Amino acid sequence: MRYVAPVIALLMGVYWIIGGFSYGLWVRNGPGGGFLPVIGGVLTIVFSISLMLQTRKGKNEGAEFNWKAFLPAGALLVMILLSQVVGMLVSMAIYIFAWLRIMEKEGLAKSLAISLGTALVIYCVFFAWLRVPFPRGILGLI
Amino acid sequence: MENLQFLWQGFQVALTMPNLVSALVGAILGLIVGAVPGIGSLAGVALLLPLTFRMNPTTAIIALATLYYSNMYGGAFSAILLNIPGDSPAVMTALDGYPLARSGKAGLALSTSIVSSFIGGTLGIIILTISGPLLARWGLNFGPGELTLLIMFAMTSIGWLLGENPSTGLVATGMGLMFATVGVDMAMGLPRFDFGSVHLLSGVPFIPLVIGMFGFSQVIDMVVNKEKYVSVGVHEVSFRDSMLKWTELKRILPVNLRQGVLGTIIGVMPGAGATAASFLSYIMEKRINKNRDNIGKGAIEGIAAAEASNNGAAMGAFAPLLTLGIPGGGTTAVLLGGLMMWGLRPGPLLFRENPDFVWGLISSMYIGNIICLIIAFASIPLMMKVVRVPASVMIPIISVVCVIGTYTVNNSLFDVYLMIVMGILSYFMGIAGIPAAPLLLTFVLTPMLEGYVRQAFDISRGSLSIFVGSNIARVLLALTIIFCLSPIVVNIMQKRKAKNGEAPA
């Protein structure tokens, strides 16, 4: 899994170089739209290959991959989907409560207090004061 | 010394009850707005502006200006405590502030940032008082050619953030370059690398990128490496423990003085704001400080450099605004709008026709800076409680803060999705050993570099002479070349020394 980021970088580099040439390297009297993309692409390709070789030889220190890394993102995506139904504030409160109960195994009272307390602060600052137009959801809730 | 007399008269204006209250309100709001990720000084000033319609111009501008520079104090709080910079000038503060907080010294990090902000800000106001108009006119000598070289000089310093393995840092630099070229190309007016999405036409938005790579990746790390995040509040319990000791103050004072001055000078230049100032100062300190090896790992000198500089720059931005009517960035543009709304025309005549207004404002900055210092220190005990919250509770709360902070920028869920993607990308970069700092630095500096390079070539019609045309340009070019070559030269000299050391006597 240590190769994922260098491979992504390498693929980006290739795409950016191809795109960069199509935008033109030198236009009129100065650098064109493709000048910096090509430089970025070349830099990334050369050094991501170097990094992958070093990783293969065991010369690069990184860390081990853990599937738990996807949990926060997955949970947030569920929260955002839910917000389309019940509104952002309600879905945030449900998310915090559910995470504390299910993932962190916290007590019912503590989870309720934290989720409702956080929702209250968010409401006061962002909804009441700053009037940020968060999604309301199909049910018309906040 | 005529200015000192005007300043004294200004104090008499600033020390009236309405103006003091207005400074207090601005300071408190600015701290909150600065501390909340996603809402920067621009949003805060824009929100407060309508409320100032009924105030008299001096009181109104005092409130807005205080909000603007107290925002720099607040931005450091979430950077230090949550690794989510409150706004872009606080990004460099997070590099040292968060590791320091994680090692149980959150109070030390906070008090370093507050003291540094105060000293940098005060220096900025003093420079503004003595030579505001002169400095503004000098700032105009920085044309596109000079600004290109300044940014290139800053970019050569990225090497110092590469870490021990240059390949990882250079991959990050290349990625930063690529991300920075997404969006409509300003010179050609054509979209680049937008993948057909309307949301990417203005480029990869900065706040979602930062919150994703710093804040959300922190959440992922908390979930994956939970044992690392046992409560760190045990090291510091009392407010007294979090105060700077004399030895620590002695370490940061020279940093504050030089970076406060540098920050102010950079703030004076139109187009270079507090963000660029904090980056350049941090990099400079990383080069020259005795403790440079620890900068980036939790050194107070790193926090001191970034904070003194961004507060100095916030003050410096008032020089071109008041004397020439040139706003340095978005926030000062809103302030300019406010001035014009009240019927005041910024420029050299402003000092002559409305001295009460101008010197009342400048005097209020001294007072406002002291108010910010007191309120910020008073809020440390509350901030310390944040550090003691267990990771298990912080995870969902920080996640929600990341979502809100990202969403409030453009009211767009696309930004939130982007933030999540950046967080995951940052995680994979982390396990490959690729640092995020060079990516961020390159991302911020590249659009400025590209813009100035093009303007320079347009003016010179393709000739390189613009980059050696003025004394400032020649000095910057020389510095860039020296700093590029110095690691190679130092390496060669070290190898020669080692060879001579091994040779038989």
- Chain segment B234-254, per-residue pLDDT in tens: 455 566 667 788 888 899 999
pLDDT surpasses 80 at B232: no
pLDDT tens digits for range B164-213:
677 788 888 889 999 999 988 877 778 888 887 788 888 888 878 888 88
The whole-number pLDDT of residue B104 equals 80
pLDDT tens digits for range B200-227:
888 888 878 888 887 888 889 888 887 7
Average pLDDT value for chain B: 81
Of A62, A77, A126, the CB nearest to B404: A126
Interface check B165 vs A, CB under 8 A: yes
Alpha carbon of residue A67 to chain centroid: 16
Q: How many CB atoms lie within 10 A of CB A11?
A: 13
The whole-number pLDDT of residue A73 equals 93
Residue A29: list chain B partners with CB under 8 A.
457-458, 460-462
Give the model's confidence band at A141: pLDDT under 50 very low, under 70 low, under 90 confident, else very high: low
- d(CA B273, CA B268) in angstroms, rounded, equals 8
Of B192, B420, B460, the CB nearest to A19: B192
Considering chain B, what percentage of its residues have pLDDT values greater than 70? 88
What part of B 216-255 touches A (C-beta under 8 Å)? 216, 219-220, 223-224
Q: Calculate the CA dihedral of residues B34, B35, B39, B42 and round it to 10 degrees.
A: 0
Task: Break chain B into its structural domains and give their ranges.
Answer: 2-179+228-411+440-467
Q: How many CB atoms lie within 10 A of CB B78?
A: 29
Span B356-377, mean pLDDT? 85
**Cβ separation of B393 and A100 shorter than 8 Å?**
yes
pTM: 0.78
* Phi, psi for B236 (deg, rounded to 5): -125, 120
This model of the complex carries an ipTM of 0.92
Residue B260 · residue B305 · CB < 8 Å: no
Residue B181: list chain A partners with CB under 8 A.
16, 33, 36-37, 40
Q: How many CB atoms lie within 10 A of CB B9?
A: 15
Residue B188: list chain A partners with CB under 8 A.
23, 27, 32-33
Task: Break chain A into its structural domains and give their ranges.
Answer: 4-56, 67-129
Which has the closest alpha carbon to B362: B28, B13, B124, B10?
B10
pLDDT surpasses 70 at B94: yes
Which residue type, as a one-letter code, is found at position B13? V
The whole-number pLDDT of residue B416 equals 92
Of B47, B167, B216, the CB nearest to A47: B167
pLDDT surpasses 90 at A95: yes
Which residue type, as a one-letter code, is found at position A70? F
Residue B407: list chain A partners with CB under 8 A.
88, 132, 134
pLDDT tens digits for range A49-89:
988 888 888 776 677 888 888 999 999 999 999 988 888 89
Residue B259 · residue B284 · CB < 8 Å: yes
* Residue B141: HSE in the Cβ half-sphere, 13 Å Cα cutoff: 10
Instruction: Search chain A and give the residue with CA nearest B392.
Output: A104
Q: Please tell me what DSSP assigns to residue A57.
A: T
pLDDT surpasses 90 at B257: yes
Residue B165: list chain A partners with CB under 8 A.
51, 54, 60-61
Residue B70 · residue B374 · CB < 8 Å: no
Opening angle at CA B23, ends B21 and B26, nearest 5: 110
- Helix or strand or coil: residue A30? strand
Residue B380 · residue B110 · CB < 8 Å: yes
CA distances from B266 to B124, B271, B331, B406 (A): 11, 9, 16, 28
- d(CA B343, CA A24) in angstroms, rounded, equals 47
Give the model's confidence band at A137: pLDDT under 50 very low, under 70 low, under 90 confident, else very high: confident
Most confident stretch, A95-104, B68-77, B439-448: A95-104
pLDDT tens digits for range A3-31:
888 999 999 999 999 998 888 888 777 88
Interface check B193 vs A, CB under 8 A: yes
Residue B181 · residue B446 · CB < 8 Å: yes
Interface check B395 vs A, CB under 8 A: yes
The whole-number pLDDT of residue B234 equals 46
Most confident stretch, B339-343, B388-392, B459-463: B459-463
**Cβ separation of B167 and A68 shorter than 8 Å?**
no
pLDDT surpasses 80 at A110: yes
Burial label, B275 (beta-carbon count in 10 A; 0-12, 13-18, 19+):
buried
- d(CA A18, CA B504) in angstroms, rounded, equals 56
**Cβ separation of A72 and B193 shorter than 8 Å?**
no
* Structure tokens belonging to residue B83: 């690794």
Q: At a CB cut-off of 8 Å and minimum separation 6, what does A51 contact?
A: A6, A60, B165, B167, B168, B171, B432, B433, B434
- d(CA B365, CA B19) in angstroms, rounded, equals 11
**Cβ separation of B173 and A43 shorter than 8 Å?**
yes
pLDDT tens digits for range B301-332:
999 999 999 899 888 888 878 877 777 666 77
**Cβ separation of B424 and A55 shorter than 8 Å?**
no
What part of B 33-52 touches A (C-beta under 8 Å)? 36, 39, 43, 47
Give the model's confidence band at B159: pLDDT under 50 very low, under 70 low, under 90 confident, else very high: low
- Helix or strand or coil: residue A27? strand
The whole-number pLDDT of residue A106 equals 85
Alpha helix locations (H) across B83-205? 91-102, 106-139, 144-156, 166-180
Average pLDDT value for chain A: 87
Q: Which residue has the higher pLDDT, B500 or A26?
A: A26
Q: To probe the interface with A, which of B165, B431, B444, B449 has the most A CB atoms within 10 Å?
A: B431
- d(CA B318, CA B437) in angstroms, rounded, equals 29
